[in-house]
Structure 1
Amino acid sequence: MAANTVHRTSLPVPGHSEVNIGSLLSLGKDFSKITTPVIFNEPLSFLQRIAEYMEYAKLLRLASLETCPIARLQYISAFAVSGLASNWKRFGKPFNPLLGETYELQRNDFRIICEQVSHHPPISAFHAENEDYVFHGNIHPKLKFCGKTIEIHPKGMVTVILLKWNETYTWQNVNCILHNFLVGQIWMEQQGILEIKQHGGINLKAELCLKTAGWNNKDLHRVEGFIVDQNGKQLSYLYGKWTEYLRASTASLYEEMIERTKQKSKSSQNSLGHKKVLAKLNSLKVGTFKPLHQIAVDESDDYHCMKECTTDDLFESMILWEVTPRPSNCAEYFQFTAFAMTLNEIEQGMKENLCPTDSRLRPDIRKLENGDQDGAATRKVRLEEKQRDRCKIRNKKKVSSEWIPRWFEKRVNLYTGFNNWTYLGNYWDRNYDGIEDIF
């Protein structure tokens, strides 16, 4: 793995993405197939956005160190949730990868290689590893404009293998919804069921619900759910916000909290009447996080004072993951996290060994990063034309015109039964003979 390196803390020049793109889109149109102006882009390729999964790779190492299978799944769940955090307030569209484009990233504790293996439909494959785990998958993003919202569907299965335990975990990412693209303040939510299955152990499963904001935003960013066994028995309660943290408690403590809350609520209802209790509950301010059955009743005054209790008040819970605060100047740099700031930098001594198809070498992304929007737009058009020309040349050949990726090939995932693009294992040999010129 790469040695310790001091990475940059900002981009070369400030910049931001335009977000009102409604005028470009037709209702129900698949946004991933639209060529958008660079003013709507952030200076990263989608392959680099995939690499942001690894910002909290330490959670995979922590999972591999646990002797308890429930604890391992807790950390895997935290890793799955942490991969969503960098999306918060990131409204710029990453550049669509060119066919054959690659991106590599090495840090002290992991290395990852990504490749664009298909253009129609757009499919990105990735493979990350260290001595404790393997993390791989395919992402086939679909972006659809629907009235006032844009829905981002990150289709594809991702997989973690804990080598020491011979355990495999699989899941699909949830959808991201961007609201108010036409008028008003834009905001986002991740929503859906995040189901993480364990294979090869005792077949546990994490079932996490990423809540919709609701009419009063009380559930905005909220995550909660359980780890269950094969029979559906609840073993651990997980809760938090995908923008901030994930915590864990035993299911038994969760049930105790529910029972205490029910008893206190019942006592209050006998004194106040059901309608008054509901009115008081509805008047409560929204806290940093409130799980199901979050209200307890303190009978200390005339109204039997309704007390707001968070899970931290009621649980002996442990923090699995907390988000790293973003740089104070992130609003000036596309809302990038500190990790994202480093993804397009070419470190000292890197260029000699870098694959010629690496995203860092894309001239359009580099020009946008340097504040040259016009130059970025011109180079983007040229790259897309060059890609179409390469496709035409392949089609004219008598042999098969199908693109053959260099570093991945299709294989059946034994646990899901789906055909996935799987890493061939030879990228880090640094043999770039025959690499096609795509830039």
Structure 2
Amino acid sequence: MNSRDEKPEGGGFFTAISSNVKFWGNAVQKSVNGLLGYEGLEVINPEGGTEDAEAEAERGRWKKEDRDGYWKMMQKYIGADVTSMVTLPVIIFEPMTMLQKMAELMEYCHLLGLADETEDPYMRLAYASSWAISVYFAYQRTWKPFNPILGETYEMVNHGGITFIAEQVCHHPPMSAGHAENEHFVYDVTSKLKTKFLGNSVDVYPVGRTRVKLKKSGVVLDLVPPPTKVNNLIFGRTWVDSPGEMIMTNLTTGDKVVLYFQPCGWFGTGRYEVDGYVYDAAEDPKILMTGKWNESMHYQPCDSEGEPLPGTELKEIWRVAATPQNDKFQYTHFAHKINSFDTAPRHLLASDSRLRSDRFALEQGDLSKSGSEKTILEERQRSEKRQREAKGDHFAPRWFNVTGEIAPTPWGDLEVYEYNGKYSDHTAAFDNSDSIGEIDVKSIQFRPWQYPDL
């Protein structure tokens, strides 16, 4: 598909979209058999080139000896879920935790404000689904975030009037819960990732539940995102794709939007492209949507056949913001903002991700210290687990409660956590409307621990 800034010609264009998106092509895959003794590894070039497969396979962030050792260690995990069972080197990490990455979904939260304000039920879904798509530009980063320590938190204020709190509520399997709220919406998520390690790639399945309540209309939206594939983990240039289907359903009315994330095909065709429709409760299309998750999204009213209504035109609904040039970790400006204390409340919890010594050392470029600090934190977490088992104790999250509800997802059942309101009570005593300014991180010790004196 061509640029989304060009209007389509001919009535059959969107008919073709609705038909062809159901028959995705396969991404280019080049088997580099026998390369340096690594039989069967695949190196996938997103640009679709066919020459110099071995040279492509040797590219990446690894030194040869590190790569060889990592491959030898990871071979036994092929086909397994490696979400929390493997200790990974910090060379593949970014100075951010998974809790912080959850907060990146809030960058374009003004779209939820527009969804709340509109009286059009179908535009409501167009705005809200564009918000859900917007985070994929940030999610294409090829660095891995740190796994949160059990009881770790992340707080964010001073952005769009939002108060955001996330907490690591379970360690095995790793699960996080998040809550955000402003004058327009309430956002709640229980997040659990399931992975399948395939050697030079890993499939990531978002076994989670995301709900958004729009305050003006009172409607509740449910989001089911597509899976993600991280290619060329060891050999080649690492890159990310999210082929599949995103569904956002208005649980109040039955309306929904179905968007197809096209996989990368030959010579990069289809990469980034998203196409689909907003449907009413009777499953008749009302609005067509088209765009690229790394650029922009557009919409246009359509008839019952999915064709654009006469006299209408494609209009832009979202466009990615400008990004820093040549950023080491491919961060957006918002990602840097998340890592800074400008978005922290006046009284920051000692369990906040920003205070992690391993994360901070990596941010300062000290890989050796980051690795050693990461080892110390992980060993402390294991010690707490042994102490809990010896005492017969159970870990209880501070800001979220387990509901007992088991929610089905396309990739497995999910134990649902809900926000308990205690964080609002905690912050009520403080004026957290202003930035706290510069913080000496050395003055605040990272303390997510259940047994502080252990």
TM-score of the two chains, using structure 2 as the length reference: 0.74
Structure 1 equivalent of residue 330 of structure 2: 335
The one of 220, 226, 231 equivalent to 2:277 is: 226
Q: Partners in 2 of 1:246 and 1:358 — Cα distance?
A: 34
Structure 2 equivalent of residue 9 of structure 1: none
Larger Cα-atom Rg: 1
Report the residue type matching 1:138 in the other structure: T
Find out whether 1:421 has 2:417 as its counterpart.
Answer: yes
The one of 312, 333, 341 equivalent to 1:346 is: 341
Tell me: CA distance 1:197–1:142, structure 2 relative to 1, closer, same or farther (3 Å): same
Tell me: CA distance 1:150–1:237, structure 2 relative to 1, closer, same or farther (3 Å): same
Whether the aligned pair in 1 keeps the contact of 2:94 and 2:143 (CA below 8 Å) is yes
The one of 170, 177, 187 equivalent to 2:229 is: 177
1:136-176 alpha-carbon deviations (Å, 9 max, x no partner): 11111123221432212221010110011010000122111
1:22-421 equivalences under 5 Å are 22-26=71-75, 27-33=78-84, 34-88=86-140, 90-108=141-159, 109-200=161-252, 202-252=253-303, 255-256=306-307, 316-330=313-327, 332=328, 334-347=329-342, 353-397=347-391, 400-411=392-403, 419-421=415-417
Question: Which segments of 5 or more consecutive residues in structure 2 lack a partner in the other structure?
Answer: 1-59, 430-446
RMSD between aligned alpha carbons?
2.9
Tell me: CA distance 1:351–1:370, structure 2 relative to 1, closer, same or farther (3 Å): farther
Q: Which runs of 4+ in 1 moved over 4 A?
A: 19-24, 253-258, 412-419, 431-435
Question: Which segments of 5 or more consecutive residues in structure 1 lack a partner in the other structure?
Answer: 1-16, 261-313
Q: Partners in 2 of 1:343 and 1:188 — Cα distance?
A: 22
Q: Partners in 1 of 2:71 and 2:312 — Cα distance?
A: 45
Q: Partners in 2 of 1:170 and 1:257 — Cα distance?
A: 27
- The alignment partner of 2:358 has SS state of helix
- The alignment partner of 1:80 has SS state of helix
Q: Partners in 2 of 1:162 and 1:48 — Cα distance?
A: 23
Tell me: CA distance 1:140–1:80, structure 2 relative to 1, closer, same or farther (3 Å): same
Tell me: CA distance 1:249–1:60, structure 2 relative to 1, closer, same or farther (3 Å): same
Whether the aligned pair in 2 keeps the contact of 1:356 and 1:435 (CA below 8 Å) is no
Q: How far 1:419 sits from its partner (Å)?
A: 4.2
Tell me: CA distance 1:206–1:112, structure 2 relative to 1, closer, same or farther (3 Å): same
Q: How far 1:215 sits from its partner (Å)?
A: 2.9
Whether the aligned pair in 2 keeps the contact of 1:245 and 1:323 (CA below 8 Å) is yes
Tell me: CA distance 1:75–1:23, structure 2 relative to 1, closer, same or farther (3 Å): farther
Whether the aligned pair in 1 keeps the contact of 2:152 and 2:353 (CA below 8 Å) is yes
**Greater shift in the superposed pair: 167-176 or 245-254:** 245-254
Q: How far 1:328 sits from its partner (Å)?
A: 1.5
Tell me: CA distance 1:412–1:135, structure 2 relative to 1, closer, same or farther (3 Å): farther
- The alignment partner of 2:233 has SS state of coil
Q: How far 1:187 sits from its partner (Å)?
A: 2.2
- The alignment partner of 1:152 has SS state of strand
- The alignment partner of 2:243 has SS state of strand
Matched residues, percent identical? 32
Q: Partners in 2 of 1:175 and 1:401 — Cα distance?
A: 35
Q: Give the paired residue count.
A: 362
Structure 2 equivalent of residue 7 of structure 1: none
TM-score of the two chains, using structure 1 as the length reference: 0.76
